[in-house]
Amino acid sequence: MDYKSNLIQDGNPMENLEKQLICPICLEMFTKPVVILPCQHNLCRKCANDIFQAANPYWTNRVGSVSMSGGRFRCPSCRHEVIMDRHGVYGLQRNLLVENIIDIYKQECSSRPLQKGSHPMCKEHEDEKINIYCLTCEMPTCSMCKVFGAHKACEVAPLQSVFQGQKTELSNCISMLVAGNDRVQTIITQLEDSCRMTKENSHQVKEELSQKFDVLYAILDEKKSELLQRITREQEEKLSFIEALIQQYREQLDKSTKLVETAIQSLDEPGGAIFLLSAKQLIRSIVEASKGCQLGKIEQGFENMDYFTLDLEHIADTLRAIDFGTDEEEEEFFEEEDQEEEESTEGKEEGHQ
């Protein structure tokens, strides 16, 4: 603490010093021993132990039952998290400087006379100090008000006893509130961790799902290429066969056309001897050419490719039914689909045969 700078700024150095020596928990002057936190703020060790116990209800440090693990709480002044070892607040360092300043301050205050006006006075009886507390009206008052004034019929108690009681109650409330804030902060930290884990887990399962669908895409592309190649091979075989037949028929047509031209020229021959020399062979060639027309033919429906048709409706239904589930359910589901696909393939092969 920079006591010197604070004292210079205030016109009454003793009052300002007293403010610096107030515990933020009990709101009274520090009670020795005074402990200093890692954040350099000070607490009464008793107050520090109260908020530590409130924040760590299962931590114990008794004779014969020493906790092997520490705990944590937050500084009531700056909210800095203080992590303790197994010794708890007894492991914190004492602030001997503050304790010495407290002793000097008390000695100085005891040697000074009480300043006039430092004690609040009664509004009804200006010369009377407020020295009692009205329990009925719940307000401080003076002795004259009790004897002659408005609080004559009320129940009163010494001001100091009520003062100490309410300060203790307020300190307990502060301790409870600080402990509650620590628990809320712990919950916030846990929820933030849950948010982070949720994002990480979501990203992981998204990646896994994308990989599985990529595998399905690859399988479909591979199967598609395989089936297209089979259709192409069948197409090429049929086209080769048909084109060969076309070539044979064209050759036969050329021969027949030439033979017809030769026969027509023979018919125009006026000489019987010359005609008869070639007529016999020509007739034989025409007969053989007529027999040669018995070339290969294609069967009816030869060009049909319907047997390459696929019924993928059940597979489409399977894909539409894809959903999240347990591994066992997925294995049973795919086993049933494989069995149905095998039965469908066998039926198509039998029909093709």
Cα–Cα distances (Å) from 223 to 69, 227, 228, 242, 345, in that order, read: 62, 6, 9, 29, 14
As a whole number of angstroms, the distance between CA 24 and CA 16 comes to 15
> Do residues 297 and 247 lie in contact, with contact meaning Cβ atoms separated by under 8 Å?
no
Return the DSSP state at 92: S
Q: What per-residue confidence (pLDDT) applies to 5?
A: 42
What residue type is 251 in one-letter code?
E
Confidence of residue 4 (pLDDT cuts 50, 70, 90): very low
Instruction: Give the three-state DSSP class for 101.
Output: helix
Task: Please choose, from the candidates 259, 291, 256, 255, the residue with its C-alpha nearest in 3D space to the C-alpha of residue 278.
Answer: 259
What residue type is 285 in one-letter code?
S
Residue 333 structure tokens: 């589901």
Confidence of residue 337 (pLDDT cuts 50, 70, 90): low
Pairing of strands 81-84, 71-74: antiparallel
Q: What per-residue confidence (pLDDT) applies to 114?
A: 47
Cα end-to-end span (Å), the chain: 100
Confidence of residue 10 (pLDDT cuts 50, 70, 90): very low
Q: What per-residue confidence (pLDDT) applies to 336?
A: 66
Q: What per-residue confidence (pLDDT) applies to 285?
A: 79
Cα–Cα distances (Å) from 181 to 81, 135, 186, in that order, read: 12, 32, 8
pLDDT digits (tens, 9 = 90+) for 105-159: 888 776 655 454 467 888 887 777 787 888 889 888 887 787 667 887 888 888 7
As a whole number of angstroms, the distance between CA 204 and CA 211 comes to 11
For the chain, domain boundaries: 13-58+69-112, 172-296
Mean pLDDT value across residues 268-283 = 75
pLDDT digits (tens, 9 = 90+) for 201-240: 999 999 999 999 999 999 999 999 999 999 999 999 999 9
Confidence of residue 292 (pLDDT cuts 50, 70, 90): low
Question: What CATH number is given for 13-58+69-112 in this structure?
Answer: 3.30.40.10
